[in-house]
Amino acid sequence: MRKKLVVCAAAVSLVFSMAIAGLSIAADPGPADMTLTTQKAKKPSLFPHKKHQETIKCGDCHHGMDADGKQVAYAEGQAIGKCESCHNESLANAKLNSYMKAAHANCKTCHKKLSKEGKKAPTKCAGCHPKKEGEKKGTK
């Protein structure tokens, strides 16, 4: 009887701790602000992650990949990997074979759509890639 009680208590404890761990992972929204860079970046992009989370779903930007290398839709709580792990020179699609190309395709499409709807979203380079202090127009 005592052994059964210990086993049940251990099982309940394990389930409870896994539930708490799952909630903490699901509740982690990531950083509020991010600086997005690539190895070849001329200018990093300042990305207000929290602001985007307030208006769009995670799956609007994030996705996964199956064993065959095909894109799969984001599932709630899915681990978010580095975009460069797939969006690199080994990706067959030349329009998306770098993190920069994938981000530009995703961000520009959404921002242009929002602008057409009369909503505020940057559509020029400097809207996401601000000039460094002291930098003049037309310089790197």
The string of pLDDT tens digits covering residues 65-75 is: 888 888 899 99
Q: How far apart are CA 57 and CA 37, in angstroms?
A: 22
Q: What is the pLDDT of residue 105?
A: 94
Query: 74 near 62, Cβ under 8 Å?
Result: yes
**Which pLDDT value is given to residue 32?**
93
Burial of 1 (0-12, 13-18, 19+ CB in 10 A): exposed
**Residues above pLDDT 90, as percent of the chain:** 50
Note whether 20 and 2 are within 8 A (CB).
Answer: no
Q: What average pLDDT does the segment 2-7 reach?
A: 54
Residue predicted with more confidence, 26 or 100: 100
CB atoms within 10 A of CB 107: 20
For the chain, give the mean pLDDT: 80
Place of tokens 């599932």: 75
Q: How far apart are CA 129 and CA 140, in angstroms?
A: 11
Rounded to the nearest 5°, which phi and psi values hold at 85?
-65, -25
User: Which residues does 15 contact at the CB level (< 8 Å), separation at least 6?
Assistant: none
Q: For 53-112, how does the pLDDT look when each residue is reduced to its tens digit (9 = 90+)?
A: 999 999 999 999 888 888 899 998 888 888 999 999 999 999 999 999 999 999 999 999
Q: What is the pTM of this model?
A: 0.68
Res. 15: pLDDT tops 90: no
